[in-house]
Structure 1
Amino acid sequence: MTRDTAIQLATQRYESGAFLEDLQRRVGLRTDSQEADSGARLFAYLEEELTPTLEEWGFECRIVENPVAGAGPFLIAHRHEAADLPTVLGYGHGDVVRGYDAQWSEGRSPWRVTVEGERWYGRGTADNKGQHSINLAALKAVLDAREGKLGFNLKLLFETGEEVGSPGLHAVCLKLRDELAADVLIASDGPRLAANRPTLFLGSRGVINFRLDVKLRDGAHHSGNWGGLLRNPAVVLANAIASMVDENGKIVIEGLRPPPVPESVRRALEGIVVGGNPGEPEVDADYGEPGLTPAERVFGWNNIEVLAFRAGNPEKPVNAIPPHAFAHMQIRFVVGTNWRELARIVRDHLDAHGFTMVDIEVERGMPATRVDPDNAWVQWSIRSLTQTTGSAPVLLPNLGGTLPNDVFADVLGMPTIWVPHSYPGCSQHAPDEHMLAPVVREGLRIMAGLYWDLGARDGNVAPRSNGEARHEH
């Protein structure tokens, strides 16, 4: 049996309809973790859907209770072949966001895969059931091609709370750090750069959500009688925000600007075009950090966003100066940013600019991670995808969005390779979420080749993590 055999077996899984049948069954399980009554359904997805399949393939499986009360459980599966073989950790999440059933287009349901041309509609098709189903099908193809062997050791971790912030994931991985130890994480989530561009990303930007409040008095006052006499909290807040980020999106607070883009990151992003695909908004060429390409701005730099701003009653405004204004803010950031000190940095900045009446509250945060693009595992993965597809994949040092990748990079201490099987227009988290059939087919082939190469003893031999398998955080 050969590498081509494994890839062909994975392709047959798609062409025969067997993959679609598996996906249909999994999408039909309502694992919407945002609903309070989802506990039994989340457990059933792990216990009744994934565990029997994995045990049939030679994995030892167990369900791990979440240490956070009321949060969904975890599934840990092991398949050990030999101590001298590379060990890989895989990850996926079985939960999805709410279905919003009534908002789907006529004839579609979030809990059924509806095939319309190249689009496969259903909740979880893009995030994350479709993606981890591709990886599982590719694993089975390699097992069959190698007559029951993978040629490497594999550990799998499935959670059921990613869509509510992955409660308990850090604690479980910290407690089971030795059990989950591996040479590398290889997993799938998030989008490709574009539907027709196979992509690797090596981490994710971090995120902090914070709130700014200006409360100047208890009640509103007539704008004719008091206008020009009373300070308007919305004006104060608008100017405070403008002191943090200018009209062109450049971050003005020095403490929230990252270090210069590393040369290895610049090389990886060279020539990458962001946007321009059907249904995507046009990129504002003059917005963001001056001197950076659009790719560097979204994958190699920080941005501050105003998510919501409120004063008075926007739906039914009255002629009165409001007493209170607030804004929900967010910063997406790359490694090297002093994000844990955000509250102090913003407080010092606002005070220095005369905005002492603006209060700040940090709501939540998640670290940034990024593997060096020159890392041996990264270069090995590029060679594997290139061999399968005939051209080099897009390499993103980190995703523009945020994943709980710090658990794998920092807590478990391993390089992280993400191979996404979705695309930017997939309507993830929205009505009419879908995946694309051509991406499914190509994803099955890519992952079969990648898993085959992990067990190869000649050709593209997988590295072992030693001193060179470093990551940034």
Structure 2
Amino acid sequence: MTHTPTDQPIDPDRTPDLLRSSIDAAFPRIVGQLSELVAIRGIAWEAFDAQELEASAAAVADLVRGVGIEDVRILRVDNEGTPGGPAVVARRPAAAGRPTVLLYAHHDVQPPGDESLWESPPFEATERDGRLYGRGAADDKAGIMAHIGAFGALSEVLGDSFGVGVTLFIEGEEEAGSPTFRTFLDTYRDDLEADVIVVADSSNWRVGVPALTTSLRGLVDGTIEVRVLEHAVHSGMFGGPVLDAPTLLARLIATLHDDAGDVAIAGLAGRDDAAVDYPEQDYRSDASVLDGVQLAGTGSIASRLWHKPALSIIGMDIPSVAVSSNTLLPRARAKFSLRLAPGQDPGAAMAAVRAHVEAQAPFGAQVLFEPGETGSPFRTDTTEPASRLALESLKEAWGVEAVEAGMGGSIPFIADLTEVFPSAQILITGVEDPDSRAHSANESLHLEEFKKAILAEAILLARIDDGGLTRQ
């Protein structure tokens, strides 16, 4: 794409309308390019073809070059001798005195899972009822195309007068837990340094209402093992005086929540102060809660999702029903996942879980605790100029006020970004909505919302270019 010559600066008040027209005209092409990305099975897990991941990175690099950025590289770093996933880093330097914005997304995707659950092939982008279905259509190849589409519109509308420095960082291993992310930041810090970081990997409030994600819960996980016998014994001959390990593990797990369903581990932070309402019927629909199932916990639903801890058992090691026998099992193990409220120290949370399970050993069973991964929570300072500009840009693109929303999930690498670039203002945006079903079968993207997300980012960058970070 060539830059439009600009003899005179464009009136900033006209810029949003010009950007809207540019994006409207380019949108069919953008959706087509997104569909081509969806067709690439770029999965960063060892069990999948690494060449597909390389092809995904190469396709993204070509798309970035197509909007006029010439400095495009595919980079990776080693993780204990094993190469990390291929990341695309593209840079257009800032004009003198202008800030630099880093635009983050990831090109790797989740495995498709059981393909029989998909209504159309997972790696064949399919449009139905205004939504584009396919693995990665929303998470996060749409984030990539939002960045590319916004930059392309700015180049067409503002031409060479657009002076903000733009760096695209398109990661290639996010769905595998970003194992080399911190090393990558440390290695290429100078290339990634920015005044503002836009992470396009979150969700909007609902169709028709945008959101800026202003808080993330942190995460700790680990395993709990209960042991009661040296070896398995016949349940008929020895059952009664001693309880089997799965039963005792179940009793231990039951102590992790109180009767209301709140997490019952002492020392964990939590607040009931969410500024927006999440109606119960909306939550039930969005989360597919079955009729008759009571919701757990106390306080507002939004606070339970964003500002309080949430603990789940996500796996258990016991024999399956298909291979079960009349045996007292000597040991059983479970993996827990604990979401942390903003402000909670992950190390303190892990210690609190350990102290709780060791103190709750049922019937004197041996309890072994093995800590796992940790990730810090995050909170945006919405008084910062970049946050203000983002909220204004979302409102202009959608025509309604944006919600300052928390996110119940965690993005652990956000903590790395804040540590490596402490002076950068971090904005978490997204293209998803509650029905996008990221990580699930029939993942999809609402196309009209996608178009608005592109426009919002383009307006944001234009406002930054117009001095918005320093204007009071």
**TM band (smaller chain):** 0.7 to 0.9
**2:282 corresponds to which residue?**
276
Q: Which runs of 5+ in 2 are unaligned?
A: 1-9
Q: Is 1:370 matched up with 2:379? A: yes
- Alignment correspondent of 2:6: none
Is residue 2:399 matched to residue 1:390?
yes
> Secondary structure in 2 aligned to 1:374?
coil
Q: Does 1:154 align with 2:156?
A: no
How many angstroms apart in 1 are the aligned matches of 2:197 and 2:280?
A: 26
2:432·2:446 contact (CA, 8 Å) conserved in 1?
A: yes
Aligned to 1:245: 257
> CA contact under 8 A between 1:204 and 1:405: conserved in structure 2?
no
Where 2:312 maps in the other structure, the secondary structure is strand
**Aligned equivalent of 1:471:** none
C-alpha displacement of 1:287? 4.3
Matched, 1:137 2:149: yes
Q: What is the rounded CA distance, in whole Å, between the counterparts of 2:24 and 2:183 in structure 1? A: 38
One-letter identity of the residue aligned with 1:386: K
Which residue among 384, 392, 407 is the counterpart of 2:416?
407
| Paired residues of 1:192 and 1:198 also in contact (CA < 8 A) | yes
- The alpha-carbon distance between structure 1 residues 198 and 315, as it changes in their structure 2 partners (threshold 3 A), is same
Distance 1:299 1:251, change over 3 A: same
Q: CA deviation at 1:295?
A: 0.3
Structure 1 residue 19, shift from structure 2 partner: 1.4
CA shift digits 1:45-69 (9 cap, x unpaired): 3334424633751342222222221
Q: 2:458 aligns with which of 438, 448, 455?
A: 448
Summarize deviations over 1:318-348 as a string: whole Å, max 9, x none.
Answer: 3332222221211001232232244433333
- Measure, in 2, the Cα distance between the counterparts of 1:420 and 1:52: 20
1:360 — aligned with what?
369
1:326-345 map, 5 Å: 326-345=333-352
List aligned pairs for 1:95-110, cutoff 5 A: 95-100=108-113, 102-103=115-116, 105=118, 108-110=120-122
Q: Is the 8 A contact 1:312 1:322 kept in 2?
A: no
- Residue 202 of structure 1, aligned match among 197, 214, 219: 214
Once the two structures are TM-superposed, the CA of residue 22 in structure 1 deviates from its matched residue by: 1.0
**1:226 Cα shift?**
2.3
CA distance in 2, matches of 1:227, 1:155: 65
- CA separation of 1:304/1:312 partners in 2, compared to 1, >3 Å: closer, same or farther? same
Deviations 1:382-434 (A, max 9, x none): 122223322211112x4211222112222222232122111122232223221
Say what the alpha-carbon RMSD is for the aligned residues. 2.7
**Per-residue Cα deviation, 1:6-65 (whole angstroms, up to 9, x for no partner):** 122112222xx2112211221122212225453333233333442463375134222222
- Could you tell me how far 1:208 is from its partner in structure 2? 1.8
Letter in 2 for 1:399: M
What residue ranges of structure 1 are gaps of 5+ in the alignment? 469-473
Please state whether the residue corresponding to 1:362 is helix, strand or coil: strand
Tell me the amino acid that sits aligned with residue 76 of structure 2.
E
For 2:447 and 2:66, the matched residues in 1 are separated by 28
What is the CA deviation profile of residues 264-302 of structure 1, one whole-angstrom value per residue up to 9, with x for unaligned ones?
xx3x62334466175643499974443x21001111111
Q: Find the counterpart in structure 1 of residue 72 from structure 2.
A: 61
In structure 1, what is the Cα distance between the partners aligned to 2:199 and 2:278? 23
Contact 1:122/1:433, CA 8 A, preserved across alignment? yes
Conserved in 2, the CA contact under 8 Å of 1:285 and 1:294?
Answer: no
Query: 1:225 offset after TM fit, Å?
Result: 3.3
Classify 1:334/1:45 alpha carbon distance in 2 versus 1 (closer, same or farther; 3 Å). Answer: same
Kindly state the Cα deviation for residue 76 of structure 1 after the two structures are TM-superposed. 1.5
Asked if 1:29 corresponds to 2:40, the answer is yes
Q: 1:347 to 1:36 in 2, by over 3 A?
A: closer
Partner SS state of residue 242, structure 2: coil
Q: Is the 1:131–1:422 contact (alpha carbons within 8 Å) kept by the matching residues of 2?
A: no
Amino acid at match of 2:65: L
Could you say which residue in structure 2 is the equivalent of 1:416?
426
TM-score by length of 2: 0.87
Counterpart CA distance in 1 for 2:108 and 2:127 is 22
Q: Which moved more, 1:324-333 or 1:185-194?
A: 185-194
State which of 79, 104, 113 in structure 1 corresponds to 2:92. 79
Return 351-360 or 134-143, whichever deviates more.
351-360
Compute the displacement of 1:260 (Å).
4.1
Pair 1:463–1:55, CA change in 2 (3 A): farther
Change in 2 beyond 3 A, CA 1:338/1:81: closer
Hey, what's the Cα distance between the residues in 2 that align with 1:163 and 1:246? 33
Measured after TM superposition, the shift of residue 365 of structure 1 is 2.1
Q: Which whole-Å CA distance do the structure 2 matches of 1:432 and 1:282 have between them?
A: 18
Distance 1:185 1:163, change over 3 A: same
Using the size of structure 1 for normalisation, the TM-score is: 0.87
Matched residue, 2:3: none
Which secondary structure does the structure 1 equivalent of 2:185 belong to?
A: helix
Which residue in the other structure is 2:61 paired with?
50
Describe the SS at the equivalent of 2:203. coil
Tell me the amino acid that sits aligned with residue 161 of structure 1. E
Q: Match of 2:190, SS? A: coil
Aligned to 2:29: 18
2:121 is the alignment partner of 1:115: no
Within-5 A mapping of 1:223-238: 223-238=235-250
Question: How far apart, CA to CA, are the structure 1 residues paired with 2:150 and 2:139?
Answer: 18
Task: Verify the 8 A CA contact 1:66 1:168 in the aligned structure 2.
Answer: yes
Q: Distance in 1 between matches of 2:38 and 2:161?
A: 29
Count of residues in Structure 1 that have an aligned counterpart in Structure 2: 451
SS of residue in 2 equivalent to 1:189:
strand
Cα pair distance change 1:252/1:36, threshold 3 Å: closer
Whole-Å Cα distance in 1 between the matches of residues 199 and 354 of structure 2? 39
Structure 1 position 146, deviation (Å): 0.3
Cα distance in 1, alignment partners of residues 269 and 339 from structure 2: 11
Q: State the shift of 1:311 in Å.
A: 3.8
